Homo-oligomer: A and B are copies of this chain.
């Protein structure tokens, strides 16, 4: 089922209004009266709707069913990724959103090759936020994860360290693997995943992170690209903390699709 994000204020009297770009998108998709779609208020409630009116700048729909969005995982996992070259961050953001990250925070570290200035950073965050919104729609998330930047490596680490389990992925870590770090955690909780740029972290950076309470972890003997490491780590976090369990009410959704 197609999915659109709306503001909570666009829900009233058993109906939903979809505005602006999304209404235009509906026209491009040639949606018509009677078509079903999901309108998500960005706060984990889904309104399953039947389209009643599609005009130039707005669409109206009647609400058929209200339910908690099933796309949000029980574990709150933030991804902290160092700046990298080319379109690697788009891959990181897109896949992090699909896999259920609560947000993505970018930061600069010593070995970063890419160091955007303020203006380039602003444009980049805008672009990556659009990638996040698109991925949230396609994957069925209940909210659109934010994409922001930290002012420094230190700030990123200090924020990451506030999670119950802050994982700092360090190539030179020899003792602790991810399986061990995640073992016995049960379901839910909060986790941070901090990954470095193309050349990894410097020893002093790892020392700082460990000093602030991060857990230094290895992703194994193979060297993962900087756009592979956070995605692989996040997938493992999600699986181990119950974030990949089967849908609870997929059946409802199919009933409505067949309507």
- Residue positions of A touching B, CB distance < 8 A: 70-71, 73, 91, 94-95, 98-100, 138-141, 172-179, 182, 218-225, 228, 231-233, 235-236, 238-240, 242-248, 250-251
Label chain A's interface by main secondary structure: loop
Question: Cα distance A36–B138 when bound, in Å?
Answer: 47
Knowing A231-B235, A235-B232 are in contact, say whether A141-B222 is a contact too (CB < 8 A).
yes
Q: Which residues of B contact A236 (CB under 8 A)?
A: 235-236, 239, 244
Q: How many monomers of this protein are in the complex? A: 2
Q: Which residues of B contact A138 (CB under 8 A)?
A: 223, 225
The closest CB in chain B to the CB of A245 belongs to: B177
The closest CB in chain B to the CB of A238 belongs to: B220
Given A98-B228, A232-B232; 5 other pairs, CB 8 A cutoff:
A71-B221, A177-B244, A219-B244, A220-B247, A239-B239
The closest CB in chain B to the CB of A218 belongs to: B246
Nearest-neighbour CB distance to chain B for A220, whole angstroms, equals: 4
Nearest-neighbour CB distance to chain B for A119, whole angstroms, equals: 29
The reply to whether A246 and B174 form a contact with Cβ atoms under 8 Å apart is: yes
Question: Cα distance A233–B247 when bound, in Å?
Answer: 17
The reply to whether B179 and A224 form a contact with Cβ atoms under 8 Å apart is: no
